[in-house]
Amino acid sequence: MEVNEIHRGRLIDHIQLVVRDLEASKKFYFSVFEALQVPLGGQGEDYFWIDELFISSKESRASAGALTGRTHLAFQAKDENMVKAFYEAALKAGGKDNGAPGNRPYHPGYYAAFVIDPDGNNIEAVFHGPAKRSADSVKLTW
């Protein structure tokens, strides 16, 4: 019997988005991640990946032949200028505005921008500013 070793670390191991137009997604995500200073992990004919984000076409063997539904992804930025660079790069690469860079009420120091990617996903870049906080001091209302 084969035993798999489990590695604990971050909560998410990877995320896959299955997209309608792989070339449009490449243009969008390559621009966004260049602004966020995250390098391309690799690519093949019908997929590419960047860090833990795997993006494939519907025809890809990894997709099971179905598009993913609307998703919200938030990427970390190192400062407010990087959030602004993300937003500008995303709009130039075909993204649609879903919230210009600015402070948000989620917790003190939360500075973010939101765009809609070519498949309708809500993509965010966030800088958790200089305000110090603990996990149990944050109250979110949905």
* CATH number reported for the structural domain that contains residue 99 in this entry: 3.10.180.10
Query: Which residues, other chains included, contact 52 with Cβ-Cβ below 8 Å and sequence gap of 6+?
Result: 10, 12, 13, 14, 15
Does residue 138 sit within a domain? no
Looking at the domain assignment, is residue 116 inside a domain?
yes
Q: Is 32 domain-assigned?
A: yes
For residue 92, being part of any structural domain is answered with yes
Q: In terms of Cα–Cα distance, which of 110, 112, 116 is closest to 140? A: 110
Query: What pLDDT score does 64 carry?
Result: 81
Range of the domain at 109: 15-57+70-132
Q: Is residue 140 pLDDT above 50, yes or no?
A: no
The pLDDT mean for the chain works out to 88
Helices (H), the chain: 22-35, 80-92
> Is 9 within a domain?
no
Q: Tell me, what's the pLDDT at 9? A: 62
> What is residue 61's predicted lDDT score, i.e. its pLDDT?
86
Residue 112 pLDDT level (bands cut at 50, 70, 90): very high
What is the distance between the alpha carbons of residues 44 and 109, in angstroms, rounded to a whole number?
Answer: 39
Q: To the nearest whole percent, how much of the chain has pLDDT over 90?
A: 74
Does any domain span residue 118?
yes
- The count of structural domains within the chain is 1
Confidence at 73, pLDDT banded by 50, 70, 90: very high
Asked if residue 7 belongs to a domain, the reply is: no
Q: How far is CA 69 from the centre of its chain?
A: 15
In a domain, 137, yes or no: no
Name the pTM for this structure. 0.82
Q: What is the predicted pLDDT for the residue at 8?
A: 56
